[in-house]
Amino acid sequence: MKFVDEATIRVEAGKGGDGCLSFRREKYIEKGGPDGGDGGDGGSIYLIADPSLNTLVDFRYKPLYRAPKGMPGMGREKTGAGGDDIFLKVPLGTSVFDEEADAYVGDIDSTESRLLVAHGGKHGIGNTHFKSSTNRAPRQFTRGEPGEVRELRLELKLLADVGLLGMPNAGKSTLISAVSAARPKVADYPFTTLTPNLGVVRVGDDSSFVIADIPGLIPGAAEGAGLGVQFLKHLSRTRLLLHLVDLAPIDGTDPAETMQAIGDELAKYSETIAAKPRWLVATKTDLLSPVDARERLDALVAATGWTGPVFSISAVARRGLDELTGAVMQGISEMDAAESEAAEGERAREEVHAQAVANRRRLYESRQADTDEWADDDSD
């Protein structure tokens, strides 16, 4: 199934039921007192986690959700039935934003998560509540309040331990297919990967980690260029980044310059993501002699001033993969004991959302400027 990571839906909570205007009418009782009952509360809408889901595609086909309204009150002080609440199932890792207010609503990040996204309208009250010593036949009652209506944007971030970084055609899809059961599209042209791919890498009999293949980035991605900007947010939930660099790119570009460009894009998009542990992985070494590959890798490290871990692999020839996956597994195990994931994830989420807001604002201003320019040309 195609991976769908964003969807916009409209949720409409139920209206509260009206209060009742009624008076007691029985045989031999001509002027009974007020007995109008209250209405029922409108139904609310919640989002809950479903671990079996891994896509938001269903919301593309059904973007509108309405909760039942509350029933009106009745005579004899009978309260109207409340509207049933609606529970919408979403995948773990779903972030929710209010489109109109451009505000963060919450995350569905555990199986116990239950997020109220549209509050049902409050019920109206019947005329029995207005009875007093000076007003024995009240004709007042209140209407039920309307339910909350919101336009929501759902964003699903990949829940992966390791994210693969690199320019288009750096070998990310080949690597994930070599170390896991994932089968992404692999070809010898840029932008082969158009949607993220997840793979489970098993190390030994009882250890594993999840790896994410993110579409390739290009310079300007943080401002919206290329495809990678759509998926940079997925990196906010990864714990380790593997920066893949082709030592002998077919387009003749300088590996040091492309590596620096990717680092710059990460820093522009989120300082928290850029500060995550990042390892350098030289790919496609089977296309070079061992001596040439070593010399090029040493030159790359020297030119970039790289001080982190360095690995040299060939996914096609399956060289260096066991060393890489073993080191990754050990690194993740060490992170489990040292890092505070909750604080880091919250900080990353806030930065990613702020960047998304800024990008949309720049896009709006750009379109507005174009519109004003056309208007000026027409006036001439």
Rounded Cα distance between 172 and 164, Å, is: 6
Residues of CATH 3.40.50.300 domain(s) within the chain? 162-357
| Sheet of strand 114-118: strand arrangement | 86-90, 45-49, 114-118
Give the pLDDT score at 51: 81
Show the low-confidence residues of the chain (pLDDT under 50): 1-4, 184-194, 218-229
Which CATH homologous superfamily contains domain 162-357? P-loop containing nucleotide triphosphate hydrolases (3.40.50.300)
Give the pLDDT score at 262: 82
Element (H, E) at 300: helix 290-304
Looking up tokens 């569905």, which residue turns up? 108
The distance from CA 380 to its chain's CA centroid, rounded to whole angstroms, is 46
Element (H, E) at 7: strand 6-12
Residues of CATH 2.70.210.12 domain(s) within the chain? 6-156
- Cα 171 to Cα 47, 153, 176, 190, 303: the distances in Å are 38, 32, 9, 10, 22
3-state secondary structure of 91: coil
Give the pLDDT score at 25: 82
Give the pLDDT score at 232: 64
Residue 267 near residue 274 (C-beta atoms within 8 A): yes
The distance from CA 315 to its chain's CA centroid, rounded to whole angstroms, is 30
Rounded Cα distance between 277 and 302, Å, is: 19
3-state secondary structure of 312: strand
| Residues β-bridged to residue 153 | 8, 97
State how beta strands 64-66 and 94-98 pair.
unpaired
Give the pLDDT score at 222: 41
pTM: 0.56
| Residues β-bridged to residue 212 | 163, 198
Residue 159 near residue 91 (C-beta atoms within 8 A): no
Give the pLDDT score at 200: 76
Rounded Cα distance between 239 and 348, Å, is: 11
Instruction: Take residue 290 and report the two structure tokens written for it.
Output: 């061992």
3-state secondary structure of 163: strand
Element (H, E) at 108: strand 103-108
Domain 6-156, classified CATH 2.70.210.12, yes or no: yes
Give the pLDDT score at 189: 35
